[in-house]
Amino acid sequence: MTKQRTLKNYFSLEGKGLHTGLFLQITFKPAPENHGYKIKRTDVSGQPIIEAVVDKVVNTQRGTVLADNGVQVSTVEHALAALYGCEIDNCLIEIDGPEFPILDGSSIQYVRKIKEIGIQEQNAPRKYVSIKRKRIRVTDPETGSEMLLLPGESFNIESTIRFNSIILKQQKANITNLTDFAKDFASARTFVFVREIEQLLNNNLIKGGDLDNAIVIYDTPMPQQDYDRLAEATGMKQKNAKHLGYIMNKPLMYDNEPARHKLLDIIGDIALVGAFIEGSITAICPGHKINVLFAKAIREYYLENPLTTREMLKLQGI
């Protein structure tokens, strides 16, 4: 029987928010059995707690935003991916602002801290959702996105990303075991196309975005004057608007780093199901919108079938 797990101790990290630009401190604390993931806003009167489940998602524009009783917290996906990827069942996250810090744009700093302080096994059995004799499929005709969960006794994800870009056309990534997350996916950084930056800035987003926390993909030539203006706003050092390619402070962590980051985001969003998933996931053109719709469909099934843990299925002879 697989048992639930939590942290052995607490840890904190500090950094700026990607969209707000605020300097933030986030703390991860051990939590009791069946607690799940919960987020406490320590800067708000009464220190309200938001349960990190997909029912609480209120926005998926360039990140996953949770809210409850008028209090919200955004950009939670990288932290939740780290917890889920390290197979942590229960954790209380405290944050002193409206957004999680972006750190380096990946999950690796969270993962390193989790490994450093250690993981504590608990007594209660782990919660699983395991579909049998059916499938869960969600599509978005507008974007061409599709998410599919098929029955299986183990967990795996195969993801394909596609863009209308001469730099980043199509990439694939797959994970066959969560034990591979720390080494093969946690370091994959978020990315953005240059052509999207102006719109994001106009929408009051990415105030904290720079080359220390994102990969910039420059695939469509623009006038030098426009390029210079965006470079100044984001800290891009490349000055020649004719040179297309990746703009970044550090080399790619993996040849398919964008695809791996999108898979990381999937894990962070399905962490909101509230149980570990058994089965095979196929993702085509994933993004936070389709990820969350997918997580909602899985959670609905899970709540309607509360005994679908690995152990209960065996007891029932299914």
Summarised one tens digit per residue, pLDDT across range 260-293 is 999 999 999 999 999 999 999 999 999 999 999 9
Question: Distances from the Cα of 215 to the Cαs of 116, 230, 236, 252, 267, in angstroms?
Answer: 27, 14, 10, 9, 20
Q: Which residue has the higher pLDDT, 144 or 310?
A: 144
**pLDDT per residue over 5-17, tens digit each?**
999 999 999 999 9
Q: Tens digits of per-residue pLDDT, 179-226?
A: 999 999 999 999 999 888 878 877 777 888 888 899 999 998 989 988
Task: Please provide the CATH number assigned to the domain covering 3-131+259-315.
Answer: 3.30.230.20
pLDDT (average), residues 63-78: 97
Q: Say if residues 294 and 138 touch (Cβ distance below 8 Å).
A: yes
Catalytic residues, which ones?
A: 288
The pLDDT value recorded for residue 234 is 74
Task: Find the range with the poorest average confidence among 3-17, 19-33, 231-245.
Answer: 231-245
Angle subtended at Cα 66 by Cα 80 and Cα 96, rounded to the nearest 5 degrees:
75
Average pLDDT over all residues of the chain: 93
Beta carbons within 10 angstroms of residue 38's beta carbon: 17
pLDDT at 311 over 80: no
| pLDDT bucket at 316, cuts 50 / 70 / 90 | very low
Q: What is the pLDDT of residue 317?
A: 46
- For the chain, the domains span 3-131+259-315, 191-247
Predicted pLDDT at 238: 67
Q: Mean pLDDT, to the nearest integer, of 112-125?
A: 98
Burial class (CB in 10 A: 0-12, 13-18, 19+), 186: buried
**What percent of the chain is predicted at pLDDT more than 70?**
96
- pLDDT of 175 > 90? The answer is yes
Instruction: Check whether 78 is labelled as a binding-site residue.
Output: yes
In terms of pLDDT, which residue wins out, 231 or 160?
A: 160
